[in-house]
Chain A
């Protein structure tokens, strides 16, 4: 078996080694170099790029990213949990509802983000309708602000919350809730003290699965925030394009990878031996 297995794994190791590990290793090396003339890279080796992360400007962007990602994750939980509960209790229609939750994930993220631009911008549908109804004179500034970014993130990543919570609720033994009721628990008490704790593995997975992409978001703050809600991903992109400071951009990228890797370890730790 071992020879066939090695043969089968060879292509994937070539791909993963050259297109995942090597690029990340190069970013790590670049983060320790100095920006040369014309945006090039040059020795000496330095930690200066990491020291610059402590600049209040960049700390502010990091704080804003955590805040926006945190709010979006919380909203996904508040919206997604009841939906997952509804789906888990809807009998034969379950699969249809699940398909309805999954389908947007397949549809272009870019198109879904653009759909909100079409609704929210100054000449967009909402402002046009409100103006036609005589409710406003000037268009409301709905687009290009942090709230629009949160809206876009919730819209984009809601399925990542619903699916794991649904999976946890599916496994849950409904008799436990009946037992709680039989023993005199009010519906509220049985929800808080039986349902929520038992579905915690799903909630935890959902929180991590939503928070990770939200924290590293680039496209949503770029299109819906319009520079008024900059996140870490935008800072990375900016350093590699406009600012042409690759060493600093590389340091920002690795700083962004740290919480992401930490969350990943948290997610995997309790799943036991079977990793995939």
Chain B
């Protein structure tokens, strides 16, 4: 191996992680300014006392949980059907959903909801955010579950059916249990992607559905606030744990 490759790799990993490490370090800095003055958990205390942050975090968790349940259920069934026989149209739709710029997805959903609201007495709120999140998380679920299905042996189901199982029983008792790690990994990914989204959410959110990324965006825009470092660190730690979990699930 060439000598400079490890040096390059070390530099890139530093580039990837140093900015996050800096946030973590300054989240426990006692000063309001960007100079180290000593260890303190003040910003975490302030974070926990902030009612706006607490409400937004709760909204984000509710939205991500509901959207994940819906997209994992529908996405798993769809992946299974695609595994049996592919559908070019659905595969195209999955790719379209993955490559459509977030901002275009956001404004198209906004235009769609507003168009529906002309006929129904509804407003933007938690429900529109959840629907929007289902629309972009389901593609991730299909991709991850289908990847898991492709590692399975299709003859197992045939054997089950030869032994008298119906198609439903073969799916329910043979394939589905084998799919659990893939489904769990897809769920974690869907939850993380939903929890993190700002661009689409900001377009379709109503007054009662402010999410954590929306509050973070507003804080970052306003300028220096060390509380944001504490919030960021909390998110990095939470999501980092989720990643490790899903990596373990995928390896099984």
Contacts and interface: CB of A to CB of B under 8 A. Distances in A.
Interface of A: 1, 4-5, 8-9, 11-13, 15-16, 19-24, 26-27, 30, 79, 82-83, 85-87, 89, 97, 99-104, 106-119, 121, 123-125, 128, 132, 155, 158, 187, 212-213, 215-219, 223, 233, 236-237, 240, 246, 249-250, 253, 256-257, 260-261, 263-264, 268, 273-276
Contacts of A124: 34
A275 B13 contact: no
Nearest to A214: B101
B117 interface: no
A5 B81 contact: yes
Contacts of A253: 103-104, 107-108
Nearest to B198: A110
Contacts of A158: 12, 16
B177 interface: no
A9 B12 contact: no
Nearest 4 CB-CB pairings of A with B: A216-B101, A19-B135, A275-B91, A23-B108
Contacts of B51: none
Given A97-B9, A218-B103, A257-B104, A240 B110 contact: yes
B49 interface: no
Contacts of A104: 16-17, 20
B99 interface: yes
B109 A268 contact: no
B134 A19 contact: yes
B236 A22 contact: no
Given A119-B22, A240-B110, A12 B78 contact: yes
Given A82-B5, A108-B236, A218-B102, 4 more contacts: A83-B8, A103-B243, A114-B23, A119-B22
Contact of A233 (B4, B74, B90, B103): B103
A112 B20 contact: yes
Contacts of A23: 105, 108-109, 111-112
26 contacts: A9-B78, A20-B97, A22-B112, A30-B111, A82-B5, A89-B1, A89-B5, A99-B247, A102-B243, A103-B240, A104-B16, A106-B192, A106-B242, A107-B239, A114-B216, A118-B19, A121-B224, A123-B33, A216-B100, A216-B101, A218-B103, A236-B107, A253-B104, A256-B101, A264-B99, A276-B146
B74 A11 contact: yes
A21 B93 contact: yes
Interface string B61-84: 000000000110111011011101
B57 interface: no
Interface of A, helix, strand, loop or mixed by DSSP? helix
A22 B131 CA distance: 13
Contacts of B12: 79, 83, 158
Contacts of A87: 9
A30 B114 CA distance: 12
Interface of B: 1-2, 4-6, 8-9, 12-13, 15-17, 19-20, 22-23, 26, 33-35, 70-71, 73-75, 77-78, 80-82, 84-88, 90-97, 99-112, 115, 131-132, 134-135, 138, 142-143, 146, 167-168, 171, 189, 192, 195-196, 198-199, 203, 213, 216-217, 220-221, 223-224, 228-229, 232, 235-236, 239-240, 242-243, 247
A9 B77 contact: yes
A101 to B, nearest CB: 8
A69 to B, nearest CB: 11
Nearest to A84: B9
A108 B90 contact: no
Nearest to A233: B103
B35 to A, nearest CB: 6
Contacts of A250: 107, 111
Nearest to A99: B247
Nearest to A28: B108
Contacts of A20: 93, 96-97, 100, 135
Contacts of B100: 20, 24, 216, 257, 260
Contacts of A12: 74-75, 77-78, 90, 138, 142
A125 B103 contact: no
A110 B107 contact: no
B52 to A, nearest CB: 16
Contacts of B189: 106
A107 B20 contact: yes
Contact of B131 (A19, A116, A119, A246): A19
B76 to A, nearest CB: 9
B14 to A, nearest CB: 11
A257 B99 CA distance: 9
Contact of B91 (A13, A216, A276): A276
A26 B9 CA distance: 46
A29 to B, nearest CB: 9
B107 to A, nearest CB: 5
